[in-house]
Amino acid sequence: MRVAYAQAGVGKSRGVMYFPFINMLPCPPNAQGLSHGRVHCCTQCHLILEEIWGAYRLSLSEELISSVSSFLVRYHTAMAIEGCEPAHSQRGLASRSGSSMSVCYLCGAELFAGGEYQLHVNPPGRCGEREPFFPFLTVHPPAPRAKPADATGLVSACNLCYHDLRAQWALHENRGQGPSTPSTSSVPSGNPQLPSSPWARQYNCEAFVCFFCRQEQRRQGRLCAVTMARLPVFLYAPRSTRTLLVDDGKRLVIGACVECKAMVQAGQRMQQDRDRHGHGSSDEERREPESASPRSRHKASADCVCPLSHTAEG
C-alpha cells in the first residue's frame, strides 16, 4: 500500500506529489476514504500517479492533476486487457473500397459484424406499443452514408446509440408511471405527468458527452466506442447523464470522442510494444524494482483494493 495526497502541502515536504482529482472519485465499498487529505492506494495505481506527476512537472498543466480523465485514460491503458473494438473509426471513410458497410444511422460509425443493432421506426409486432420504437427517425436526417429505414421499418445503429435510445425510451415510459405516488414525487406537480405518446417523443441524439474529457460533442463523426475492462473505477467514475455507457456484465463499452480514443489507443500500442519486447515472468514484475516498466506491472492489479482502482473485493 502506498499513500497518495489530494492536496498540496499535506506531505512532509514540498514537492510531494498531490492530485486534486482524488477528491472527485467516489470512495468504493471496503476502501478507506480520504482522510487528512490522503488516501492509500496500491502500487499499480501509484505508478500511474507517478507517471501523471512526471508529465505535470514537465508541462505544469493543472489539468493533468485535477481532472479525473487524465487518470482514467492512463488507468484504462494500463489495465487494457482486450484491445479496443475493431476500430469504429470514422476516419478515412472515402478510402474504403466501394463498401456495402452499414453505418450507424445516428452517429455514422461503421458497423462491423456483430456490432450492428436494429431500431424500430414503427411499433414492432402487433402486441402494442410496449416494445421500443422511434418514429422520429423517419424525420431525423440520417448520418452521411447511412441507409434510411428499410421496408420493414428498421434502421441500423451502433451499440452505443442503440442502447442510448432504448434508455431514453425507458425514461419516457417510467415518466408515465407512478400516478399513485403524487405527493412524494419531486416532480413539479403542475402537470400530472401524462405518459407522452410514443409517437411524439423527442430524443437527444445530436450530442453526447465524452467519458474521458467530459466535453459535449456532436455525435456524428465524433463518437467512438472504447471497450474497457469492467472495473469499478470506470463504473463509478463521475459522469454526466449524456455520457454513453453500455455494461453487458462482462465489459464496458463507452462513448469517447475521437481525440480521447486516439489517446487511449496510442497508450495501448505502447504497452503492447513493451510487452512484446520481452518482460519475463509476470511474477518477477510484481516485486518492487523501481526500474521496472510501470505498465507491465499494472496488469496484476485487477483485484487491488485501493480507492483509486475501486476494485473492492473484500
Residue 225 carries which DSSP code? E
**Residue number, 47 or 65, with CB nearest to Zn ion:** 47
Q: Return d(Cα 86, Cα 71) in angstroms, integer.
A: 24
**Residue number, 195 or 258, with CB nearest to Zn ion:** 258
308 touches Zn ion (CB under 5 A): yes
Buried b (16+ CB within 10 A) or exposed e, 177-206: eeeeeeeeeeeeeeeebeeeebeebebebe
Among 4, 39, 52, 106, binds Zn ion (CB under 5 A): 106
210 touches Zn ion (CB under 5 A): yes
Among 104, 155, 245, 246, binds Zn ion (CB under 5 A): 104
| Contact between 307 and 42 (Cβ < 8 Å) | no
Q: Print the binding letters for residues 55-94 with Zn ion: x by CB under 5 A, - otherwise.
A: ----------------------------------------
Q: In this structure, what are the phi and psi dihedrals at residue 143, rounded to the nearest 5 degrees?
A: -60, 155
**Residue number, 25 or 213, with CB nearest to Zn ion:** 213
Which residues make beta-bridge pairs with 225? 255
For residue 203, what is its C-alpha cell?
430524443
How far are the Cα atoms of 9, 17, 251 from residue 13, in angstroms, in the given order? Answer: 7, 10, 41
Q: Return d(Cα 57, Cα 59) in angstroms, integer.
A: 6
256-295: contacts with Zn ion (CB under 5 A) = 257, 260
How far are the Cα atoms of 236, 247, 279 from residue 310, in angstroms, in the given order? Answer: 8, 17, 27
**Residue number, 166 or 175, with CB nearest to Zn ion:** 166
45 touches Zn ion (CB under 5 A): yes
231 touches Zn ion (CB under 5 A): no
| Contact between 147 and 158 (Cβ < 8 Å) | no
Question: In the bound complex, what is the minimum distance in angstroms from residue 41's beta carbon to Zn ion?
Answer: 5
**Residue number, 177 or 204, with CB nearest to Zn ion:** 204
CA 121, distance to chain mean position in Å, is 27
253 touches Zn ion (CB under 5 A): no
Q: Return d(Cα 34, Cα 40) in angstroms, integer.
A: 8
Q: Return d(Cα 239, Cα 179) in angstroms, integer.
A: 30
Total residues at interface with Zn ion (CB under 5 A) = 18
Among 74, 120, 306, 310, binds Zn ion (CB under 5 A): 306
42 touches Zn ion (CB under 5 A): yes
Q: Print the binding letters for residues 131-170 with Zn ion: x by CB under 5 A, - otherwise.
A: ---------------------------x--x---------
**Residue number, 175 or 239, with CB nearest to Zn ion:** 239
Residues that bind Zn ion (CB under 5 A): 41-42, 45, 104, 106-107, 109, 158, 161, 210, 212-213, 257, 260, 304, 306, 308-309
